[in-house]
Amino acid sequence: MRKGKVGLAVLFGGIAAGLIAITIHHLSRGLPLGTDSAVYRAGGLALLHGEPLYDPLLALAPPDRAALPFTYPPFAALLFVLLAVVPPQIAWLFVAMGSVPALMAVVHRFAGSLPPVVLCLLPVLEPVWRLLSLGQINAVLMALVVTDVLPARRPRWGGVLVGLAAAVKLTPLIFVPHLFLTGRRADGVRALAVFCGASALGAVVLPRDSLRYWTSAVVDNHNAGSIDWVLDQSLHGLLARSGMPSIGWYAAGTALILAVAAVLVRDFHRRGDARAALLVSAGCALLISPLSWTHHWIWAVPLAACLAGRRAALAGVAAVFTGRTLTWVPEGAHRELTWNLPQALLGNAYVLAALAAGAVLGLRLSRRGRIPRRPDPGDQGNTPHLYGEGALPAR
């Protein structure tokens, strides 16, 4: 046990030293570092200077000012003020230093340990290195969700972390119905209350920005990137690249994915597999989101951790999420619209892999029928082994 702790400390120390060295190099030469963390910092500065959040951010350099909008709720800007008091390179360091332990915590929760094979795989997974290079907060938000949905013991304030994550970025709202589907109704209500309370705080501090966000900016992502760009690995992006950008196709596909995901979540919950149920909800969120950049697929990390003992499945995860297939196709300037069939298969790898996994799971479920729910006395719909050591199989 002591050896493991020493090894973990050495690992963290080495990673921290590397991140600090990168920061010093860029800071000393005045080089930019962290595209997304720079946007977070600019949002915090806009709040401090009384500038509109959803106009071009004046703290960004002119080429980025028009191309990189602030797309987060006003409550997020209240938190990003912490990044506004340091240079952009240091802001990136703070986000990166928070992301690494967040990823480790998620791996440990899904695998029950820190398997060396998974740790070695992490640096080559495209969502991981892209997230770290951009200074994205998705790993931290994922850790909040995982900690809340897969608690080590019976939660006293279940739902709070999910609500907080959703108040920072709307995508985690998908885990509120997940809580209801898995019988944690009180936690689902608590998550909604925290989300509404945090959003209300944002409205009190930033009334004009809140009005603009909730009435227009929340659906206006035209500056966030082209929908048909290869890095948008969502159902919406796949349809756009396939020449079917109609909202009707997207709505129909979204409804079908939601229905299948709900059935699968319920089934995994009845079978006592809380980890698989959570991964289904995460995959659903990534598929139906209007924009799912490749770094949003950071949920490949817990998937790899969950499959750590299955070499063939883990190799499949690596084959898809190293992102190599995305580099083998023409991209940018709407060249994705000219793809042939082999290029479409390669360029939509993340989406197609998730759709295929959902289809296989759905077919298996339809063939065998649902397994009756296990007896669940006195815990308001939670399976008894969701908490404590029974939450994870021994390895």
pLDDT confidence tier of residue 3, bands split at 50, 70 and 90:
low
Which pLDDT tens digit goes with each residue over 247-297? 899 999 999 999 999 999 999 999 999 999 999 999 999 999 999 999 999
* Exposed / middle / buried, residue 13 (Cβ in 10 Å: 0-12, 13-18, 19+): exposed
pLDDT confidence tier of residue 9, bands split at 50, 70 and 90:
confident
Query: Of 93 and 152, which is predicted with more confidence?
Result: 93
How crowded is residue 75: how many other Cβ atoms within 10 Å of its Cβ? 25
Query: Of 13 and 106, which is predicted with more confidence?
Result: 106
Mean pLDDT of the chain: 89
Portion of the chain with pLDDT greater than 70, in percent = 89
Which pLDDT tens digit goes with each residue over 176-205? 999 999 999 999 999 999 999 999 999 999
pLDDT over 60 (residue 391)? no
pLDDT over 60 (residue 375)? no
Pairwise CA distance, residues 3 & 287, whole Å = 41
**Least confident piece of the model among 100-104, 134-138, 153-157:** 153-157
DSSP 356-386: HHHHHHHHHHHHH-PPPPPP-TTSTT--GGG
Closest by CA position to 177, among listed 162, 166, 188: 188
> What is the pLDDT, as a whole number, of residue 383?
37
> What is the pLDDT, as a whole number, of residue 274?
96
Which pLDDT tens digit goes with each residue over 158-184? 999 999 999 999 999 999 999 999 999
Q: Mention every residue, 6+ apart, whose C-beta is less than 8 A from residue 273.
A: none
Mean pLDDT calculated for residue range 8-13: 76
- Can you give the pTM of this predicted structure? 0.90
pLDDT over 70 (residue 309)? yes
pLDDT confidence tier of residue 369, bands split at 50, 70 and 90:
low
CB 163 within 8 A of CB 141: no
Structure-token pair, residue 165:
């994550």
Mean pLDDT calculated for residue range 71-80: 96
> What DSSP character marks residue 232?
B
Which pLDDT tens digit goes with each residue over 17-48? 999 999 999 999 999 999 999 999 999 999 99
**Helix 88-111 with 35-48: angle, nearest 10 deg:** 120
Pairwise CA distance, residues 47 & 222, whole Å = 22
pLDDT confidence tier of residue 308, bands split at 50, 70 and 90:
confident
Which pLDDT tens digit goes with each residue over 137-164? 999 999 999 999 999 887 788 999 999 9
Mean pLDDT calculated for residue range 345-361: 96
pLDDT confidence tier of residue 12, bands split at 50, 70 and 90:
confident
**Helix 349-368 with 247-270: angle, nearest 10 deg:** 50
DSSP 179-228: HHHTT-HHHHHHHHHHHHHHHHHHHHH-HHHHHHHHHTGGG--TTS--TT
> What is the pLDDT, as a whole number, of residue 184?
95
| CA distances for 231 relative to 39, 105, 139, 297, 332, angstroms | 19, 27, 18, 11, 9
pLDDT confidence tier of residue 126, bands split at 50, 70 and 90:
very high
pLDDT over 80 (residue 58)? yes
| CA distances for 176 relative to 98, 140, 264, angstroms | 24, 18, 16
**Residues 303-325, buried b or exposed e (16+ Cβ, 10 A)?**
bbbbbbeeeeebeebbebbbbeb
